[in-house]
Structure 1
């Protein structure tokens, strides 16, 4: 019996969204009479931080503090259209739609402020803290709350905006079938270090070293949390999680997480995450879609590390002790 160590590396690139009829998403932004803003989306927050990041994008575009923006994801009956929260498209598609809607609302806001201050709207700027001021003359300013009040009750105007993002559709070449399935790609590389028990086939992940290129980290702390969690989701796919032998029959399927194998806190190994930023020209403030990609690279990296440790290739997930042991016995005759 021996505990054998191995190291494996894997690199992936991942498309943001897809080419599906343009893959559109819409957004609506409007102000209350008090100068707070409501952002309406049908892009669902699955726990990945959709509400936080779209509120930031909206606030940045409007030029107001983030806490003045409330995000309502409603549902597909009452909200503006969205293709869905999948394919790592949420931040990219919804973010671009939010920018378009917020720009339209911002223009109305500046036009109302221009009448109050008796200047041209093109001479105004927002200070990010809740005021609109004359560029070069910060003492001449008006609060966004006052602008909203005047717009609603004196000028009869709605400070609102509509936005949609539609990817230019790529049609297959008739002769070759070539097409452009995505407009930007995120990238990742993982180095996994494992220990394999050659008597039982058990695999322990000792360390994960991850590098992710995400376009631009719009919320760096939230990106880091997503990347670490996603990497360990990949470990779950690689070593633990499966629907077999129950799928498609569910007669003896797991009923809760005490019966469904997945890594727990005691299984988490040393994990490093390095974030590289290469802003996407068509991304919201350069952002891409790293979501699902987080889990991709660790899986082949672990498979390669097992091969490096014992010289046996396991090519079906999950890499259970039984599969690893059978592979070891096969190469040893």
Structure 2
């Protein structure tokens, strides 16, 4: 029995969204009578942080504290249209829609405050702490709460905004049909170090080192956690998970999550991450979001590391101990490639 070390590398450029009729997202923003703001979306938070990021984006565009913004991810009956939470598009498409809706609501808010302060709206600014003040004369100010009250009960106006974002259609090459379905890409490079036992076929992931270019990390902790969780999901797909291990024969499919093979928290390996920020011109405050790019490069990196360790090239997932042992047997023994 010998435990062989292997190292695998993979890199990816991932398209953000896809141009399905412009891939539009819509957002609505309105103020409550006490000066809080509600953002209404139909984009679904799957645990990736959609509510948190759009809350931050709306607060920045409105010029109000984050604590005064609430996000309602409604549904297709009560919310504005959205193409869906897929294609790693949420931050880019929905973030842009939120900025446009919040910008319109901000204009209405400043107009209402201008009437109360008897100045031009262009002379006003927000301080980020819940106040609207005259530029250069902060003592002349009104709270956003009082502005909302005045708009609602005195001026008879709404502090609201609507926003939609869609990308321009790509021109297709008349000869080849080639086109670009997206406006920006995210990028990643990842290295996996692991060990393979040539007697049992067992794989142990030792360490992951990665670099992700996400445009701009709008919420650093959310980005970090998504990258860590997504990478481990990639490990799980590469080595463990399958609903139909003998497809198309379903006789051995797991009946529930007790039987479904996946790594436990105790199996999580060390993951060192470098987040590279290259703000995208058409992204909300430069952020593109990591999305599916978290997991995608992990699978080929694991396959490459196993090949490096014992010389077995697996092209079907998951890469089980059985497949590795059969590969070693067919090769006449382990054949380390020696990258480490």
2:132 counterpart SS class: strand
Deviation, 1:137, is 1.2
For the residues of structure 1 that align with 2:91 and 2:273, how far apart are their CA atoms?
20
- Structure 1 CA distance, aligned partners of 2:131 and 2:11? 46
Q: Is 1:74 equivalent to 2:91 in the alignment?
A: no
Q: Please list the CA deviations of residues 304-331 of structure 1 after superposition, one character each: whole Å capped at 9, or x if unmatched.
A: 1111111221121111111111111222
1:61 and 2:56 are equivalent in the alignment: no
Q: Distance in 1 between matches of 2:241 and 2:298?
A: 14
Cα distance in 2 for residues equivalent to 1:249 and 1:8: 32
Runs of 4+ aligned structure 1 residues displaced above 3 Å come to 245-253
CA distance in 2, matches of 1:56, 1:289: 14
Q: CA deviation at 1:271?
A: 1.1
Matched, 1:300 2:300: yes
Give the aligned partner of residue 177 of structure 1: 177
* RMSD after superposition: 1.3
Q: TM-score, normalised by structure 1?
A: 0.97
| Residue in structure 1 matched with residue 272 of structure 2 by the alignment | 272
Other structure's SS at 1:56 match: helix
Q: Distance in 2 between matches of 1:260 and 1:3?
A: 27
Which consecutive unaligned segments of at least 5 residues does structure 1 have? Answer: none
Return the alpha-carbon distance in structure 2 between the equivalents of residues 322 and 111 of structure 1.
Answer: 69
Q: Distance in 1 between matches of 2:206 and 2:58?
A: 41
Q: Deviations over 1:22-53 (max 9, x none)?
A: 00010000001110111110001111111111
Q: Give me the whole-angstrom Cα distance separating, in 2, the residues matched to 1:329 and 1:322.
A: 11
Distance 1:5 1:168 in 2: 48
Shift of the 127–199 alpha-carbon distance from structure 1 to 2, 3 Å rule, reads: same
TM-aligned CA deviation for residue 246 of structure 1 = 6.3
The equivalent residue for 2:92 is 92
Deviation at 1:182, TM superposition (A): 0.9
Count of residue pairs brought into register by the alignment: 333
Residue number in structure 1 paired with 2:131: 131
1:40: which partner in 2? 40
- C-alpha deviation, 1:256, in angstroms: 2.7
- The CA deviation string for residues 200-259 of structure 1, in whole angstroms up to 9 with x for no partner, is 211110111111110000010111001100000000110001122365676653233221
Q: Equivalent residue of 2:108, what SS?
A: helix
Equivalent residues in 2 for 1:122-201, closer than 5 Å: 122-201=122-201
**In 2, Cα distance between equivalents of 1:19 and 1:304:** 33
Partner of 1:52: 52
